[in-house]
Chains A and B, each alone.
Chain A
Amino acid sequence: MFDRDAPHTPRGTKLSTPAERSAAVNAAIEQIDPEWIIQIPSSTLKTIIDAQSARMGPRAFPATREEEAVGIGSGLALAGRRVMLIVQDNGIGNALTALTTFPQAYHIPLLMLVSRRGGLGEYNSMIHTFCEHVEEVSRAAQLRSFSLDGTVPLDEWTRRIVDAHEFARITHRPVLVYLNLMRE
């Protein structure tokens, strides 16, 4: 019998919980050890942003808009600093022009951790239209991205985020990692 409180992948492996996934993201960030984090909060990112703000103090700070975060992060990267952006996916619409005309065009490595919204478990009815298609939108803009959700083993979450950071560095471009930190 299907137990709705114990979600399973198609192969029968139990899904990880949002708290476990957030812990895996925090472990990846600590391995990457950014000198600066520019963030715009999301309800699903609270655990991560709180942990990194406590760890990094004023070197983890909020931007007012996603495109501004792209600009600040690009400036830090041009100064030779390790920098990471953390935003939610409905802000990718704000950031598209900045991403494609600056770090993408100028070959500036920039890792963006992007929380997914929309879909099952979403409470905000306004958010689905953009968020359900955000990966297609970023692909159409030729922005490289990777996706992690509850079906991906937890130890792979940490490893893939660390790998994505290195991938951005060696391919000299912005790289987005979509993180599904919602219920499923």
Chain B
Amino acid sequence: MKRWDALGLIADAYPRDPMVVTLGGTTRELAAMRRSPSHLYVLDSMGLPPAIGLGLALGLDDSSFDKVVVVEGDGSLLMGLSTLATIALTTPRKLVVLVLDNGAYSATGNQPTAAAAVDLCAIAMACGMQTGEVRDLEELRAALEWTRTTDGPLFVRAHTDVEAAKVPYLLEDPVVLSSTFAAYVARNR
């Protein structure tokens, strides 16, 4: 499964709900493919997207949004793995963590992460999340439908290829990215 194709399905499944998008190729590909004010493009801050998403999910629990979605990579998830314990503590019912696991630090030359040696779903399950693991686009489509109709916190590990699309860097001022996103959230909450 190509990351580009997985991101397309995710964008289709969540056209309105706030989405925190992890750094590197993931944020660049999604911005190039389907730029949206509902996306918070995290340009750096490796390890932080689940924490940012947790804060949003808690803060928007009484909003009209159905879910807060985090699109994370395996390397970044492993860097901020202890956030899953805080998710267990706070049980954010709108939080969906989608991990696009290509087993590599692809932005730095595809060096392997430790993800292949780790049962990420078992860790998430031990942290009070319902989980799913998918390996192709059909399974991902079904998993996304499950996340849309099930209370969180939810966790999906989607195995993808290391292949990355050729897209330009996202070089916008982060202030523009955050103010666009915050205004969207305030307007539609």
Q: How large is the interface on A (under 10, 10 to 19, 20 to 34, 35 or more residues)?
A: 20 to 34
Find the residue from B48, B54, B82, B189 having the highest chain A CB count within 10 A: B48
Which residues from A are CB-within-8-Å of B178? 78, 106-108
B20 CB to closest chain A CB, in angstroms?
Answer: 8
Which residues from B are CB-within-8-Å of A101? 43-45
B138 CB to closest chain A CB, in angstroms?
Answer: 32
Q: Does A93 contact B (CB under 8 A)?
A: no
CA distance A80 to B47 in the complex (A): 23
Inter-chain contact B45/A75, CB cutoff 8 Å: no
Please tell me which stretch of A11-19, A57-65, A122-130, A140-148 contacts chain B, meaning at least 4 of its Cβ atoms lie within 8 angstroms of it: A57-65
Q: Does B164 contact A (CB under 8 A)?
A: no
Inter-chain contact B83/A76, CB cutoff 8 Å: no
A75 in complex: contacting residue of B53, B80, B89, CB < 8 Å: B53
8 A Cβ contacts from A53-79 to B: 58, 61-65, 67-79
Q: Does A98 contact B (CB under 8 A)?
A: yes
Q: Does B11 contact A (CB under 8 A)?
A: no
B65 CB to closest chain A CB, in angstroms?
Answer: 10
Inter-chain contact B55/A80, CB cutoff 8 Å: no
- Given A79-B55, A101-B45, A106-B175, verify A64-B83 contact (CB < 8 Å): yes
Q: Does A167 contact B (CB under 8 A)?
A: no
Inter-chain contact B45/A78, CB cutoff 8 Å: no
B51 in complex: contacting residue of A75, A79, A107, CB < 8 Å: A75
Please tell me which stretch of B56-64, B97-105, B110-118, B146-154 contacts chain A, meaning at least 4 of its Cβ atoms lie within 8 angstroms of it: B56-64
How many B residues have CB within 8 A of the partner chain?
38
- Name the CB-closest residue of A to B42: A102
Q: Does A105 contact B (CB under 8 A)?
A: yes
Inter-chain contact B80/A71, CB cutoff 8 Å: yes
Q: Does A36 contact B (CB under 8 A)?
A: yes
Inter-chain contact B58/A68, CB cutoff 8 Å: no
Which residues from A are CB-within-8-Å of B54? 71-72, 75
Q: Does B182 contact A (CB under 8 A)?
A: yes
CA distance A69 to B83 in the complex (A): 9
Which residues from A are CB-within-8-Å of B13? none
Which residues from A are CB-within-8-Å of B175? 105-107
CA distance A133 to B57 in the complex (A): 36
A and B contact pairs by CB, cutoff 8 A, 12 listed: A36-B59, A70-B51, A71-B52, A72-B58, A77-B55, A79-B63, A80-B182, A83-B55, A98-B45, A105-B174, A106-B175, A106-B177
A residues whose Cβ falls under 8 Å from a Cβ of B: 36, 58, 61-65, 67-81, 83, 97-98, 101-102, 105-108
Closest 7 CB pairs of A and B: A75-B55, A71-B51, A79-B59, A106-B178, A64-B82, A71-B48, A72-B55
B residues whose Cβ falls under 8 Å from a Cβ of A: 20, 40, 42-45, 47-60, 63, 80, 82-83, 85-86, 89-90, 174-175, 177-179, 181-182, 185-186, 189
